[in-house]
Amino acid sequence: MNSHEIDYRLLGEEMQAVEIELDPMETVVAEAGSLMMMDMGIEMNTIFGDGSNQSKGLFDKFLSAGKRMLTGESLFMTTYTNTGQGKKKAWFASPYPGKIIPMDLSEMGGKLVCQKDSFLCAAKGVSVGIEFQKRIGTGLFGGEGFIMQKLEGDGMAFVHSGGMIIEKQLQSGETLKVDTGCLVAFTNTVDYDIEYIGGLRNAVFGGEGVFLAKLTGPGKVFIQSLPFSRLADRIIASAPKMGGKGREEGSVLGGLGRLLDGDNRF
């Protein structure tokens, strides 16, 4: 094993957190800002990149951190090391409602490709990098652009998603069509492409976009029921506009209805 062996426990149902148990001198690497709490005896350090190869020179570390910026993540990551006696715990939470998916990379061929902002934390030794889409069409219309995130190594990694998760095991040659925003992650053996949905009415009035992700096995695919972008669009559409009204204000009660249900802001 090149990665640290960590134990974990998922907490909650729809607003999940993950509890990581560390033996002495074991380390977990996490996205900046994802920590909930930690035991005394755990030392926190901010690093460039993912800390998977500390023998790199300064230039290589800057290059690694710069690649992370292309995936929409921070230049920095944070390590949490148990420097005390006995087992210690640290807790991490996802940034929006949904599920945390534990990924044992040693059982997934050592590599997982996922959407750009889905990584939460991992055992030290797991490499967090970028995956360029080789097909121009996939990069332009695939929903995630040319760049996706890749997790490599043989340790545990944790990915967060919106809503509930459906895990599909595709057989060789089996194809699954997925809304591009609902795709969370897939193993390295899955072929990823995009496909035009066909039909002018479908494209213009179907409400599902013009393209679908086309995933061909063999391999494992993880699908989310509520992409954060979809949730954010609904919140923005329902929010009161500056000097205007919220979506619910077309009702008979209007502002009085908000006052009765406790929202008495004017």
The CA R_g of the chain, rounded to the nearest whole Å, is 21
Q: What is the Cα–Cα distance from 117 to 120, expressed in whole angstroms?
A: 8
pLDDT < 70: residue spans in the chain: 1, 49-74, 132-146, 196-210, 241-266
Q: What is the Cα–Cα distance from 121 to 105, expressed in whole angstroms?
A: 13
Percent of the chain with pLDDT strictly greater than 70: 68
Pairing type for strands 219-224 and 119-123 reads unpaired
Beta sheet of 219-224, edge-to-edge order: 127-132, 147-152, 111-114, 183-187, 219-224, 165-170
Question: Given this model, what pLDDT does residue 106 score?
Answer: 92
Amino acid identity at 187: T
Model-level pTM? 0.77
